[in-house]
Structure 1
């Protein structure tokens, strides 16, 4: 079965550019990723700090209290040499790990609670409660997906229309082959400042997860994010094309 792509309109979109946003000439290959020096352990100061963090956090998965105890003993042995261990305590270790510029976007949190008017009697328990919300910056998550080299050949940078040459039937497969994506680009193109830009549709989903073992039957609402540019076969295999960006824990309210 043969097929073709209608390039009448979409050829003016998603023009390749360099890291500074300057458009590249047709056929110009992308710049290779910058290579880090062999002795660059950023954000760790040296090889020992990196190895210590990997052992404590990844290999041994030591608890925070045990990390503090070990580091205190380590510091005591180095005090006579006017030296110090790689990390002051577990908070220092975690902060250094979270500042690694590679890998997943770090989690952040805030607390929400009801601030509206409450009834004089029979106040619902949820109005007096506070709830932790954990999240990751959606902009950074999307940036990581677009920059993932594994998706380079499995991502659509512009919407397209695909037809069966034998029957002239319109075929739909991936997100960017849909009429909706095409129509959105028509609207975006009305702004001359967007010439050459890539349309990145953000896809959000959520569900409820109940965890009863050792948690008092708490309910959790994870929020997932993906982008429509990634092709369906990548979504089905996950491969970091779907990420959790929000996590709301709800305590179960028991009415008596």
Structure 2
């Protein structure tokens, strides 16, 4: 929050954008053992001198970053169109992971990073002037947003 208020680039526990880019690359592309070996290379320790000299410190720094909205889990049963030996529709138990959309909106609207690009009203966007084919490509173009506006 202090970084935002003072107009600094938001880098969390990282000293620079370059250090953040290195951390992001390591997390996405390198396994834990190789990450530890990389961070212990003398050239990395002497020339780069990252704020996270070990894999554990890097992972702790990543874990300390703001997480946003919590994931929710719901176990669901889907009935398919394939029949079993007895002629009954087969069912499958699945995990459905999702975010509560209202919590997502609250998180986004409260984030100062998006202050200048936030949309507050729904829009209906169409491919042509005839309004036959609606384009739904952003949160503010879905019907749900119109329904929420009515309830406010």
Indicate the TM-score class for this superposition, using the shorter chain for normalisation: 0.3 to 0.5
TM-score (norm 1): 0.30
Larger radius of gyration: 1
Where is the helix percentage greater, Structure 1 or Structure 2?
Answer: 2
TM-score (norm 2): 0.44
